Amino acid sequence: MKKIWLFSLPLLFVFSLSGKAQTIDSLKIDFSGFIESYYAYDFNTPTENQKLPFMYNYNRHNEFNINNALLRVKASYENVYASFALHAGTYVEDNYAAEDIKWVSEALVGIYLDKKRKHTVEMGIMPSYIGFETAISALNLTVTRSILAENSPYFMTGLKYQFQLNDKWTFATFFTNGWQRIAKPDKSALPAFGSQITYKPTEKAVLNWSTFIGDEPTEFGLRTRYFSNLFFDYQWNENWRTIAGFDAGMQKSSVGDKHKKWFSPVLIAQYTFNSKWQSAFRTEYYQDENNVFINVNDIAFKTFGNSFNIDFSPTKRLKIRTEARWLKSQEAVFINNNEMVNDNFFITTSMSFEF
């Protein structure tokens, strides 16, 4: 993997020297990147390397670090295109811990099947089709990700077919290696199936419904997982924007025909003061009684959360953000000075730059 990194950096640097886009005959190459540094302080003063075991971003306590640094090259030729991206940071260390290929964020090839580009096929490592929050934090309304987003896929590896019916409706189907997988851990499992329906009634509104069905490996063998993500994103006016989301899933239990279930509603409201200043408030709830995703020593995870952030953008490519976040659980699932407590408060400050 180090050889790939060392080989790719000079190549990306050459592209960057000559501008954002290069055209050779009908070959077009675009170069872009993103880097985000951060400092986080958890008032529960954790002693472990990670603040919280179910968070994968900004997850270092009382430490300056890099959350995500990404370099991407996109190439297109006639009706074919490809994208390749490398990344590094604590987000990669935590979120790709189970993968052998950690430093590749994106590696896919796509083709438009018709002249109007309504039918598209892609294959490779691609961003997840589930949810409204991405690994590029500058695109998200809040600094940290919702518990909902942190415990659903950030990436997928597989095949995607997309059909854009018109400006309002887009449909897609997916066959993947499973729930946030690059390598498939159990080769006997069939490819997981996913779907996505996106409806844009106006330029200011997006309604999205994504699903996942697949067999996931557990200590008791393969167990079928069913999952649904629904969100509505609406820009009310030049000041207000809201996102309402809801996740629900179930997975076959290791005993009998019962299923382990989890769900999470979230509401985010963003207010834009002017071109430089924004703020956002989030309220959320996450319930995982059977510890499918959040393992807290067989204690039912039922947690409310609130956060508030202030964003300052001195230029359109630079963003400085600070967020205060409080989590409150019905049970004592957090650790403070080696004691179990039912709440957690932490502050995160980040600085990011896109190019």
Separation CA 219–CA 226 (nearest Å): 18
- Residue 25 is predicted with a pLDDT of 63
pLDDT band for position 319 (50/70/90)?
very high
Tens of pLDDT, residue by residue over 213-238, are 999 988 778 889 999 999 999 999 99
Q: What one-letter code names the amino acid at 36?
A: E
Alpha helical stretches, state H, the chain: 2-17, 90-95, 147-150
Report the phi/psi class of residue 42: left, alpha or beta, with left for phi > 0 and alpha for psi in -120 to 50: beta
- Residue 14 is predicted with a pLDDT of 40
Domains with residue ranges and CATH for the chain:
2-354 (2.40.160.10)
- Residue 8 is predicted with a pLDDT of 46
- Residue 50 is predicted with a pLDDT of 84
Structure-token match 């319930």, residue found = 287
Give burial (CB, 10 Å; 0-12/13-18/19+) of 93. middle
CB distance 314 to 4 below 8 Å: no
Instruction: Pull the structure tokens for residue 286.
Output: 């996450």
Tens of pLDDT, residue by residue over 178-213, are 999 999 988 888 999 999 999 999 999 999 999 999
Mean pLDDT of the chain: 91
Residues ≥6 apart with Cβ < 8 Å to 93: 102
DSSP character at residue 300: -
Separation CA 195–CA 187 (nearest Å): 22
